[in-house]
Structure 1
């Protein structure tokens, strides 16, 4: 009797277990797995480079018109170096400001003085505006600067400013007013405001003057250079013992000047 009871209990246990197992299997929730996203193994074509929309320019020196918002600057000399049209890279540019002797409407007098006279063969763009009357106008120069930057393929980190006599004075004052424009300046036979030199402390400067300049005192350059040196400015200075007011002919004939200039970046 006892063995029969145990056997019956065993059968009941097995049947219960099977029933539970069966319920578990039939009631199990099977998660739905979304199909894997196929991997695109086809190489996508590289988009073509953005083409330069600026027009080609005539190599060498040409005369260009400009609207500076007034009558102070209406035209300028443009020098385009060889390779400008073929090389789509950005180019360094030098803005050259003339002196009192070149004021007027005959742009050829600008062509025969200072940097424009020797620029041929140099590896940079040059623009040399002509002041029509009285004196360089700071507002007109700003309008001119913006027009030039938009018109040519210029490297904004390599914009340089130079000038002689009246232009040398404006080189100092324009750089002090807008140091963010220029990577380096070359003021020749000029003077400036020593109270403002802190604004160009970090602007590389190479100044030139003649000791016996009877038109613009050499102290104009000496004072600016000394003021920059006193605050740790980046300044070079060449003073010729003779030559009178014309210190620019020798300055622009200095090969090391252009090597130094083109090494400067903002």
Structure 2
């Protein structure tokens, strides 16, 4: 009964509103006061507040009053009605997201264990379809005796197709509920319908050791297979590097990860929304290597044929017969990832860094517990760690990778003993934990990964009047777009109010360039990418012109986790060009750094001037950057 709510505040004036607070109260509860952050002119802002209530009521709902006040003056008051539920009824629960500090919710169908049962319950994560609320998804399930069913939101009914921030929402809810409900982590499952079926394929293939079994219902595979979203073939190296940024969303490229899960595929054979060919394609792909999947086509069924589309008894029977094995029981591990910053670990192996950023990386390693030996092969792996504390105790194992014996290994680590290995010049050697200042699972890129860690949007005020107006409008537009698409809540501040010495583990998104944004010097003075009026420089190379748009990210100085994302232009034409870069859409991806010219408006990615990835030390020299017309580099 100690929970959170949120309301939308609208500022219809042309002034920034400051000094307000939300006062929330309800009969039988405790009044709470929450400071309201500044609300930009002609803008909306989602603001969370605390709800403290006994949970006792004479009816099945409680009236809650929320008052907006400043000083002794009340600006507005609204009354909301909250349903009262017993703990074993289907209900919503709210939480504060670590992504942006906003209030989010999930719906929960609590398990109803049989009398005398002391077994830890399992957990099923259920992903909803397009336009469906998480509460509606949960309402399709009857309670189970042995497993909770939880429906995250994907941040909105349409959200992000369970990719990008939708993926983060699902995994944030999973982590929260496993801890809060004390579920059996070895009995964790994933299902979903339609867009949520795609989410099931995507989340399952991205985090293969988190789910014992998955069950997509009427699910589509990827943007390339469904809805005419075929990607153009790249014609030069710049475009090939841009294309790499899409790797984490390529379901079929990651498909060998499904070997770690049992799979139940459900589809109506008369589906006129998501054609049954999507399921049949996955069945054909799995048939070549997978031996633990089953398939059911419902005769004559369309896209939605009642609650049994998701609450299908054979699916739950399938789930009940699958468990995630303990690490010691994993004798062979095949794991691939497109981005260690998204998914780096499966059981005892972690791909810490890649040789070629966002190209597919993989390991195929066997663990011989009797001989205490790891042996296997890797692809596109620069750093690797093998966790030992979940294996049977004993001496440090021997390791053979890619036909090479690795000697002088030492197990280190406080939060989990590991051996660390590094590859250089084609040779493996013993290593140690990577420096937090280097790329790793904690911070990797590409550009869209900067939108996290409760980021600020910081707009420039030191440019021309036209540049300043653009920076303010763009930051406000992005904040409202992220709310509209992702139910987010973002602090938007001018460069004059931003203090780089504070809140160093919060992300920052800068709008403008080095000549117009006063926060640039404190955050990006040492950046190898510099954008000024008339030019963009990446490393030692420079492109001139006033119509250049540049998106890039860098590690935030003084932080081991946060990034600085930059939305920049070399002039008004370049700044306005960023308005046409839809980075809040799923299926759209950008490398660590991308530079476009204004001809991108007619040529698409044919207008890209440069693109690529920083090295694992975040330098240009050790990275891969391609330039227009320069295929030799």
The normalised TM-score by structure 1 is: 0.68
Say yes or no: does 1:143 pair with 2:143. no
Residue by residue, what CA displacement relative to the aligned partner does 1:68-112 show, whole Å, maximum 9, x if unpaired? 324898111112222389755321111111111214xxx54334x
Residue by residue, what CA displacement relative to the aligned partner does 1:129-155 show, whole Å, maximum 9, x if unpaired? 223433231122222221111111210
Say yes or no: does 1:183 pair with 2:212. yes
**Aligned residue for 2:128?**
98
Quote the offset at 1:180 in angstroms. 0.8
Contact 2:96-2:102 within 8 A present in 1 as well: no
Contact 2:193-2:310 within 8 A present in 1 as well: no
Say yes or no: does 1:223 pair with 2:252. no
Distance 2:94 2:313 in 1: 31
Contact 2:141-2:307 within 8 A present in 1 as well: no
Higher relative contact order (CA 8 A, sep 6+): 1
Distance 2:186 2:212 in 1: 6
Distance 1:65-1:222 versus aligned 2 partners, 3 A rule: same
Contact 2:212-2:260 within 8 A present in 1 as well: no
**Aligned residue for 2:272?**
214
Distance 1:206 1:73 in 2: 33
Distance 1:86 1:61 in 2: 22
Say yes or no: does 1:74 pair with 2:104. yes
Distance 2:114 2:96 in 1: 24
**Aligned residue for 1:65?**
94
Residue by residue, what CA displacement relative to the aligned partner does 1:178-217 show, whole Å, maximum 9, x if unpaired? 0010000010011222222111123100011112211112
Quote the offset at 1:258 in angstroms. 2.0
Equivalent pairs counted in the alignment come to: 203
Distance 2:101 2:279 in 1: 30
Distance 1:218 1:73 in 2: 37
Quote the offset at 1:221 in angstroms. 1.0
Distance 1:130 1:178 in 2: 18
* Alignment equivalent of 2:142, drawn from 102, 105, 119: 119
Distance 2:291 2:297 in 1: 18
Distance 2:102 2:129 in 1: 14
Could you say what secondary structure the match of 1:231 adopts? Answer: coil
Quote the offset at 1:242 in angstroms. 1.8
Quote the offset at 1:120 in angstroms. 2.3
Task: Say which structure is richer in strand.
Answer: 2
Could you say what secondary structure the match of 1:265 adopts? Answer: coil
Quote the offset at 1:164 in angstroms. 0.3
Contact 1:176-1:197 within 8 A present in 2 as well: yes
Distance 1:247-1:72 versus aligned 2 partners, 3 A rule: farther
Alignment of 1:1-266 (within 5 A): 58-68=87-97, 69-70=99-100, 74-83=104-113, 87-103=117-133, 108-111=135-138, 116-133=139-156, 134-135=159-160, 136=162, 137-192=166-221, 193-246=251-304, 249-252=307-310, 254-266=312-324
Distance 1:63 1:227 in 2: 37
The normalised TM-score by structure 2 is: 0.30
Contact 2:92-2:107 within 8 A present in 1 as well: yes
**Aligned residue for 1:14?**
none
Quote the offset at 1:122 in angstroms. 4.2
Quote the offset at 1:125 in angstroms. 0.9
Could you say what secondary structure the match of 2:304 adopts? Answer: coil
Quote the offset at 1:248 in angstroms. 6.3
Distance 2:290 2:151 in 1: 31
Quote the offset at 1:247 in angstroms. 5.1
Could you say what secondary structure the match of 1:157 adopts? Answer: coil
Contact 2:197-2:219 within 8 A present in 1 as well: yes
- CA RMSD between the two structures: 2.5
Pair member with larger Rg: 1
Structure 2: gaps of 5 or more residues:
1-85, 222-250, 325-633
Quote the offset at 1:239 in angstroms. 0.9
Distance 1:138-1:132 versus aligned 2 partners, 3 A rule: closer
**Aligned residue for 2:473?**
none
Distance 1:254 1:97 in 2: 15
Distance 2:114 2:183 in 1: 10
Task: Say which structure is richer in helix.
Answer: 1
